[in-house]
Chains A and B, each alone.
Chain A
Amino acid sequence: MAVCVAVIAKENYPLYIKTIPTDNELKFQYTVHTSLDVVEEKISSVGKNTNDLRELYLGLLYPTEDYKVYGYVTNTKVKFVIVVESSNTSLRDNEIRGMFRKLHNGYVDMLCNPFYTPGENITSRLFDNTVLSMMQQD
């Protein structure tokens, strides 16, 4: 399913990034990093149109040649980015929404862990497993 899942802090630095093992993991880092531009643009343009559907799910951020990048932002401005392969046609908007939902739930549970300090890199194994489950269902 997903080939890359990233959690990005309010201040736009990575809290967590997981990619399927490839020889070019750095590429995903760049992909996620540049996707922040679109996320920011989408967030900042929210105020303009009042009748905008202000969903947490931001939809497709941008397609690249091989991948599709989806974005999601929580009310606390934590961003989730999921990258899926363009060739994977089974993943439609609803599936992606579901994945983000799951990711958000996992993140909230992780944040409520007293051993986690907000702003730190995420090392929770539970969260890791949540993410892995989204990446492995193939």
Chain B
Amino acid sequence: MSQIDYGQTAEDHQAFLILVRHTGQHLCNRSFNRAWERIRKLNCIAIPGQKRVAWVRYKRTYSKENNEWGDFQAHRKVLGLVSIGQCTNSDQFEELFDNYRKVKEEYASTLFNSRLFVFGMNTDGSPLSDEEKENCNLETGEKSSSGSSRSGKSSPVHSEDSGVTPDLSPTEAGNDCDLTKTDAETDSNVNKPTSAISSRVEQKSAQQQKQSDLKPESESNVEQNDNENVSKSGASNEPPTSQPHSNSTKTESNSSASSEPATSRPHSNSLTKESAGAEVLFSPGLQACIDLEEKVKDFVTSIFFVLEGKRLDRSFERADKMQLLCAPFEKKDYVGLDTDTKSYRKKCQGRLRKHLGDLCLQAGIPGEAILHYQTAIDILRPVNDWLWIGACFEGICSASVIVRFPKSQTPTLRRNFSLQATRGTSMANDTKLRTGSIKTSYSNGYQDQEESPKSALGPDDIVEKYREALVHYSKFKGSGMIEMEACLKACRVLVVQRKYLQASDFLQNVVYINLQTSDEDKINRYCTLSQLYAQIGFRRKAAFFKRIAAMQCVSPQNPQPNWKLCHSLVMQCLDGYNICLDPKDVPTDCVYGWPVLQSRVLNELIFSARRTGNIPVAIRHLGMLLHTLFDILTTEDKRDLINTLQTLTAKSEGTTAPLALDSGVILPPIPLSNIPQVTSFKLIPLPPHLQPIKVASKVVKQDTGPFIFTPLSLGQQEVQSKTHVDFSWVECDMCEVQLQVCNPLPDELSIQQMSLMTDGVEIEAYPTSPTIPAESGPSLVKILSRPRSSGDLCILGYTTHLLGMRSQCRLRDLPELRDLRTTVTVIPALPQITLTASLPKVATFTTVGDGANVVTSGTTSIYAGQSKECMITIRNTSNQPVEKITVSLDCHPDQKEMQSKVFQWSQENLDAQLPLQPSGLVCFTVCIYGYSDFLSSKSSRDGSQSSEHSNPDEYDSKCVESLLRVEYSGGPGLEAGYCRHCAVAFSVDILPSVIFHSWEALPSESPDHCVLAFDVCNVCSQQVEMQYNIDDSFKLEPKQIRRLTIQIEKCKFPDPAPELDVADRLQMTKPPPPTISHYSQHLDGFIHILWSMCGTKSCGKMATEHLTWSQQQLELIKVSDVSWNVSVNDQSCSAYSIPVVCTGKVVNIEILITFRAGVSYTSAGLAVSCGLLTDHTSGHSRDIDLVTVLGSQSYQLTNLRHCILLA
């Protein structure tokens, strides 16, 4: 079966085909590949003494069937054979040579020359045996003789060259190579193709040249005979011998080509010394063999001259005894055909002329080739030899391309071309027409012919002729290979011309050509098509064929499906379907590509990856499919894919690391960001009672520095605020992020794990594993974490672990969540406390002020005047000591005064118990007092006039609600200037107990005492016992009013608000409302009225501070401004001790009047009246008139002083 060469170009028509073979088992693949690399670089060799160059095409394998097409198109002939082998001794060399000989035999019909490169030996023979040295010496000796053949012009010399063959034969014989000789002699009597070294071929051609007059039958007939001979004899001999070859070629083709540093071409003037005649070349090693290139050049040159000889020979073709050149499939048609017809002769003539054109092309004279081709067409057209006409057209095209686009391609360039596949870049620059003509002088009649571009076709004509050629080719069943290759060649020509549409027509044609070939060949074909489509910019088509090639790898008919190749081929077609490997490259705003096909291709990728056993890659592809095409998938598809995913992940968990394929392609991780879909992502501040609060202190002042206002720092804050949230988290405290997630899947989705991706601050993650019902709307997921240190914590995204797949979803990749603020400041650790109050908790609490940070509450109801205690326990639940606790009352400023009376505690007591170590306890007591004014809501405050009997229902209980705020801090957080606030909410119902119904002040018997009378009313529902004056008491039934009197000493009231100094008074623009006059307040200290309830065993004190006293009443209570002491006869007298004086005696009455300091009177009058009291007991009665007053009875005091009046 002939192999199709998918890489062939039009320029290849001018190249020599040289087979480079790996021979023997001793040469390792690597060395061979190195040698191969060195040789294949020599694709263009200048022929010394000629202005022409020889183009060479090297092949490592070339099937015999392909070689048989050599008559049809000369460039398909293997002209040279280079075998490369290694040996260390003569036995191995024998083996090597044997191998070499067999290969040579195979291609003997076409070979012009051959070489065997042997490594591991000295250049002049084997280091082991002298024989081999001699062998080499002989070879070198031989060179001189074959050197003459190189010149190739003097044909008569070649006849003598036949004598050279025996020169070689003895060496072979000496190496026990008798077999070869005998074989050669027996197999082919005429030409001995087994030992057909160049010289012999040359000899042969020389003979023909010489005998052409005698034998007009031409050489090709002979060649054909040779072919037949070989195939006949080979039928028995070859199969066993060729077996090792086929093995070795297999390994060759599998081995990867290793590159060799480019070696500079040695100068070629050595040709004169060392001719190409030497068939076996020894060298110690590849490295040592510096002249490898040189030798190959010599070899090529030798081939060139053989070819040149043939070309010149054929140009004098005679019409008689012509041989018919045939394409392989034609042969059987011409068996037994009458060869003596005119048409047959025409065919022979035309085909030979065409062949001559081929030779001219190879010999580097395309202009001449075109003429030959045209003549051939003219000859062949009348006889309807379509196939060959087609070949002529193709030849013309090739020649024209070579002329029009000279040197447009070299193999090295061609290799790289697939890399720089951007269309129309490199080649178009070479499309300059070669305007200059090359003058060449040949020894034949064609000399001095100008290679004019006129004979060459124009670019459009080339395409036209290619089309014509294809039309002709397509008429034959057996010419499929030729047709296909021609299509590809035409396409490549058009790529250079940038005629992409026409190129695509040719490529389309390739698909139509029906060739039954192996799967491997089909894969090759599709890959070539894909590559060419890519070159013409048809990326979709390219992708299509890549995919077809991939499918071919695993076609159901294929006994050995190659899933790995399939996968790597599908990977190559992704670009054409706009499938990106990196989810970041997928545009989110619009549809990108062809969703149906994308889904298909991705499914194929998944499947092939699965079949190759590369589960992680399959998972990755599946992730891509879910990521990009989720919206177009049907419910059934989704379900299937999820099931597939689960079965895959059961074997190997989906990771978040990039995967590298063998081809070097990196598969970046694909987050499953749409399963589940996160619609909102919110950082949650700490609960209010745990929120850190910056203590506005000296720290702030330090920040401001010497400037009162710096715009710079303001700018910084703004920048920060774009990414920062406006609250802080605290180190070691549980922090929360809330996500709203949707499940787009038709089944319940259970997320095995969901946690945060953070940066900046180390956190301790507490992943959650929520389950979201099928296709349900947003449901809340909370993710907790605990920062381990302080600083700026940046939340990058979240990680999920679901369906056996781990994904990292970065917020910046999610369009809806891209602009969120996700940086939060974490402040140093603060302690955390719990508060418990000993009172029962409040069921409902209407908050006053900021009630959010309330952690506990207490409620109680007390009667007005009653006191209760509430124990508040502070427990430190954190690892940080509490170093500071400040308790304050958080209430409305209007109520502050009142509440501070209700709730009282000792801050000092608390401070004494600090610091509070972790898990320690601190208790403090809050004293709750049933503060009340003890007044009826209706009674006026001065209440002296008793109001009407009031309804006790009016005495409503009063509810006092208050927050006891505990501000605490400690540990590093305190140093950083943060604290926390929490609060206890109190709700105290103050029930009315007893109220003052009315009150008055009465004078007492004693001038320095007074009597206060209170009408108290029991407004509660129980019996109340009132206690006063230490031991006085009475019981009061509900709603009963009774009077109680208390005698108190008249008191000196302190000055109102004496503690206020001038400055304070100035500040107080308005004096405080005199709800509680300081009189009442003062007085309260002297009045002790207690009540107690038997039923509830509670007791309390009635405060009188809210009672207002009228001026008159106050006069009674107050110690009067003036005090006097009357002494009679030096005896002080008082109301209780009346001095006894005798009648008629002068009674000296001394009155001491004392004015209280601060009381200023401008004037005062003093009148003394004396009365006599008769002793009632003695019955005496005296008239008052009997008293004579000495001195003035009244005294006007103008200047008030403490003075003593004497009378």
**Chain A residues at the B interface, C-beta cutoff of 8 Å:** 9, 11-14, 26, 29-30, 33-34, 36-38, 40-42, 45, 62-65, 119
Contacts and interface: CB of A to CB of B under 8 A. Distances in A.
Interface string B956-972: 00000000000000000
Contacts of A11: 590-592
B855 to A, nearest CB: 54
Interface string B215-256: 000000000000000000000000000000000000000000
Given A11-B590, A63-B508, A30 B539 contact: no
A119 B590 contact: yes
A33 B536 CA distance: 16
Interface in B504-553: 504-505, 508, 511-512, 533, 536-541, 544
A30 B537 contact: no
A14 B594 contact: yes
Nearest to A119: B590
B1091 interface: no
A33 B539 CA distance: 10
B537 A26 contact: no
Interface of B: 500-501, 504-505, 508, 511-512, 533, 536-541, 544, 577, 590-597, 600
Contact of A38 (B501, B591, B593, B597): B501
Contact of A65 (B512, B595, B596): B512
A8 B596 CA distance: 13
Given A62-B504, A62-B508, A29 B541 contact: no
Given A11-B591, A13-B595, A41-B537, A34 B544 contact: yes
A45 B501 contact: yes
Contact of A30 (B536, B544, B591): B544
B422 to A, nearest CB: 14
Nearest to A9: B591
B540 A37 contact: yes
B594 A13 contact: yes
Nearest to A63: B508
Nearest to A35: B540
A34 to B, nearest CB: 5
23 contacts: A11-B590, A13-B590, A13-B591, A13-B593, A13-B594, A14-B595, A26-B596, A29-B596, A30-B544, A33-B544, A33-B594, A37-B504, A37-B533, A37-B538, A37-B539, A37-B540, A37-B541, A38-B501, A38-B504, A40-B537, A41-B504, A42-B501, A119-B590
A61 B508 CA distance: 11
Contacts of B591: 9, 11, 13
A94 B590 CA distance: 36
Given A13-B595, A26-B600, A29-B594, A36 B540 contact: yes
Given A11-B591, A30-B544, A65-B512, A41 B596 contact: no
Contact of B597 (A30, A40, A65): A30
B500 A41 contact: yes
Contacts of B600: 26
A36 B544 CA distance: 12
Q: Give the interface centre of A34, A37, A40 by most chain B CB atoms within 10 Å.
A: A37
B599 to A, nearest CB: 10
Nearest to A32: B594
A11 B511 CA distance: 29
Nearest to B545: A34
B533 to A, nearest CB: 8
A13 B579 CA distance: 13
Given A13-B595, A37-B537, 17 more contacts: A11-B590, A12-B593, A13-B591, A13-B594, A26-B600, A30-B597, A34-B544, A36-B540, A37-B504, A37-B533, A38-B504, A38-B538, A41-B504, A45-B500, A64-B511, A65-B511, A65-B512
A37 B505 CA distance: 13
A63 B590 CA distance: 31
Nearest to A15: B591
Contacts of B538: 34, 37-38, 41
Contacts of A40: 537
B597 to A, nearest CB: 6
Minimum-distance CB pairs A-B, first 3: A37-B538, A13-B591, A34-B541
A13 B597 CA distance: 11
Contacts of A34: 538, 540-541, 544
Nearest to A44: B537
A84 B710 CA distance: 76
Contacts of A26: 596-597, 600
Nearest to B500: A41
Contacts of A62: 504-505, 508
Nearest to B544: A34
Contacts of A12: 593-594
A30 B539 CA distance: 13
A14 B504 contact: no
Nearest to A14: B594
Contacts of B500: 41, 45
Nearest to A36: B540
A63 B533 CA distance: 16
A102 B1062 CA distance: 101
A36 B577 CA distance: 12
A119 B591 CA distance: 9
A17 to B, nearest CB: 8
A13 B586 CA distance: 14
Contacts of A37: 504, 533, 537-541
A45 B537 CA distance: 12
A64 B544 CA distance: 14
Contacts of B539: 37
Nearest to B592: A13
B525 to A, nearest CB: 16
A116 B516 CA distance: 51
A26 B595 CA distance: 12
A34 B541 CA distance: 5
Nearest to B423: A41
A96 B367 CA distance: 46
A53 to B, nearest CB: 15
A29 B596 CA distance: 8
A64 B541 CA distance: 13
A45 B501 CA distance: 10
Q: Give the interface centre of A38, A42, A65 by most chain B CB atoms within 10 Å.
A: A38
A82 B536 CA distance: 23
Contacts of A63: 508
Nearest to B632: A121
Q: Give the interface centre of A11, A26, A30, A63 by most chain B CB atoms within 10 Å.
A: A30
Contacts of B504: 37-38, 41, 62
A9 B501 CA distance: 22
Contacts of A30: 544, 597
A37 B534 CA distance: 10
Contacts of B597: 26, 29-30, 33
Q: Give the interface centre of B501, B592, B600 by most chain A CB atoms within 10 Å.
A: B501
A119 B589 CA distance: 11
Nearest to B499: A45
A14 B590 contact: no
Contacts of B508: 62-64
A9 B505 CA distance: 25
A1 to B, nearest CB: 23
A40 B536 CA distance: 12
B122 to A, nearest CB: 60
Nearest to A62: B508
Given A62-B508, A65-B512, A14 B596 contact: yes
A39 to B, nearest CB: 10
A62 to B, nearest CB: 6
